[in-house]
Amino acid sequence: MVIASITYSCGFDSQGTSKSNSSFETSNSSIEKKEKIKISDLTQEQIRNYAKVNSCYLPLVKDSTLYPDNKRSFYSWQELFNDSLSEDNSYRNRYLVGDFMVLDENLQTKGIEEKNPDLLQLVDFKKYDHFLISMMDSAVDYKQSEKKLFDYIRTKYPSDSLELLNFYRKIWQYKTPTLNKKVAIINNKAYALGQKLCLCEAQEDTLLLISQFSTSAKSLIPSEVLDEEGKVVSTSYVRSLPLGKSRHYYGAQYLITSKNWETQRAYERIDQAHDNKLGGGNNRVTFFKTGAQLPNFLLMTPSKDYPKAMRQNGIHEVALSGLSRGMLGSANSIGCIRVTDFGSKFIRWWVPQNAKFFVLYAENKYFSELPMSSISDFLPFKNEGEGNAFRKWLIDNKPLKAAQLEIDLTGRHDNGHILEAYNLFGAEYEVFRSKGNE
């Protein structure tokens, strides 16, 4: 199939203590068990308490400091729903929340703790058994388990086998462990982490946090040096935060108006059929003006309430080489909302066309650079030798994940790729080392 392309500027213009994984489960399950109170009947105190562990509640918090231009101070429960899908559509309750605060209410580093989706929570997988999901997870970690998974799908669910196999091959096989860290380090500078993109489902008595991915919103703008012929000879980045006079850069509400694709995966009829169920999608591939691909680009169009918000930004996989993927969770993009490889693929599959995307943050909690002296213990490697030893272990033991994370056999010990990989697989590596292996 021919893949069309579309180019967006991605915002390029001239102008504390984290909770454990169990806290996410507790916040959802405890809400469900409490007398089934309707969301619309919750007090602001209850909503604020829920929002501390589940950012899906953040749009319901009455707080004008989270919004630009003081045009609003909260959204109602009914406003979370997709207005373009019919009322009986199973996906109209899905929405996104960009919680872009790296500091908590005490102005301490929040840190990032991702949450991968539990497929059994999704309407798409309600009719399937737990064994299927566990086999999918096993196949992600052990390639030899794929044949057993494929045989099980074809035998147990023959009528759904094409859709299930396509989901595994196009989405789930790219799953990586969740990121869990407090700070990001790059070029002898450290930054507080906390920015996250939350996948949410609104129900009458609870707001389900389906998944939570670390993300990076705007803090930079490119500065280009041109030669005599007007060609770009070098690009650097200067600080440009969406704060103060630039607070309107992000509106508080967007719609996901275009769901684009990537060259890494074929866009087939079965992908088109899935898109149709969720209201739309296409096979176009988005490129930055430099020619770099922005995989799985989801165009975010600001609502009419925010006419000054920057247009042509989107959600997509980390792609631009000048911006480190190891910085996810901190403000360090030039406008677009960047996520991991798996995050971009899953969000593209999960989110319906015209889903609402709420972007909320208090200005004094959006960005924080930390003194290096305060985070000296966070860097896992002291030199390139130690870093290269980890690189070799990862390539030898998890070659598919090493390739996905773009890990070479040698390189810097403090770049974003290796720091992200260590955050994901460092615990396994340390067990390997503790047994006397080097």
- Contacts (Cβ under 8 Å, ≥6 apart) of 89: 82, 279, 352
pLDDT at 23: 46
Reading the block at residue 327, the tokens are 């910085």
**pLDDT tens per residue across span 262-299:** 999 999 999 999 999 999 999 999 998 878 899 999 99
Question: Of all residues in the chain, what percent carry a pLDDT higher than 90?
Answer: 64
β pairing state of 94-99 and 369-370: unpaired
pLDDT given for residue 324 in this prediction:
63
Report pTM: 0.83
Q: Scanning the structure block, which residue is given the tokens 């086998």?
A: 161
Positive or negative CA dihedral for 361, 379, 332, 263? Answer: negative
Instruction: Pick the most confident of 25-29, 100-104, 184-188, 369-373.
Output: 100-104
pLDDT at 182 over 50: yes
- Structure tokens given for 373: 């002296």
Confidence of residue 307 (pLDDT cuts 50, 70, 90): very high
pLDDT digits (tens, 9 = 90+) for 205-236: 999 999 999 999 998 887 766 777 777 666 67
Residue 254's SS3 state is strand
pLDDT of residue 247: 95
Q: Is the pLDDT of residue 2 over 70?
A: no
The confidence score (pLDDT) of residue 30 equals 47
Higher pLDDT, 60 or 180: 60
pLDDT value at position 438? 64
Highest mean pLDDT among 67-71, 180-184, 252-256: 252-256
pLDDT at 144: 85
Q: Report pLDDT for 66.
A: 97
Per DSSP (E only), the strands in 128-231 are 180-181, 183-186, 189-192, 196-203, 206-214, 220-226
Cα–Cα distance measured from residue 380 to residue 384, given in angstroms and rounded to the nearest whole number: 11
Over residues 325-361, the pLDDT tens digits come to 678 999 988 899 999 999 999 999 999 999 999 999 9
pLDDT at 377: 64
Q: How far apart are CA 73 and CA 88, in angstroms?
A: 30
> What percent of the chain stands above pLDDT 70?
87
In the predicted model, is pLDDT for residue 26 greater than 80?
A: no
User: What is the band of 69 on the pLDDT scale with cuts at 50, 70, 90?
Assistant: confident
The H-assigned helical ranges of 146-228 are: 146-156, 161-170
Predicted pLDDT at 93: 97
* CA 79/CA 407 separation, integer angstroms: 43
Provide the 8-state DSSP code for 261.
B
Average pLDDT of span 176-188: 82
Task: Please name the helix (run of DSSP H) or strand (run of DSSP E) that holds residue 422, with its range, or none.
Answer: helix 416-434
* Per-residue pLDDT tens over the stretch 388-407: 999 999 999 988 888 878 89
Range with the poorest average pLDDT among 239-243, 251-255, 317-321: 317-321
Does the pLDDT at position 255 exceed 90?
yes
What are the residue ranges of CATH 2.40.440.10 in the chain? 5-116+177-370
398 CB-contact burial (10 Å; exposed 0-12 / middle 13-18 / buried 19+): buried
Is pLDDT at 21 greater than 70 in this prediction? Answer: no
Mean pLDDT of the residues in the chain: 87
Angle between helices 416-434 and 384-397 (to 10 degrees): 80
State the Cα–Cα distance between residues 367 and 122, nearest whole angstrom.
33
Helix (H) or strand (E) holding 338: strand 337-339
pLDDT digits (tens, 9 = 90+) for 99-141: 999 999 999 999 999 999 999 999 999 999 999 999 999 999 8
pLDDT above 60 for 4 = no
Q: Does domain 5-116+177-370 have CATH number 1.10.10.60?
A: no
How many CB atoms are closer than 10 A to CB 12?
A: 18
Query: What is the structure's pLDDT at 419?
Result: 80
Distances (CA, A) of 215 to 85, 113, 325: 27, 11, 9
The neighbouring-strand residues paired with 41 are: none
Q: Is the pLDDT of residue 18 over 70?
A: no
- Residue 44 is encoded by which pair of tokens? 């602001």
- Tell me what pLDDT residue 87 has: 93
For residue 6, is pLDDT > 60? no
On the question of pLDDT at 168 being above 50, the answer is: yes
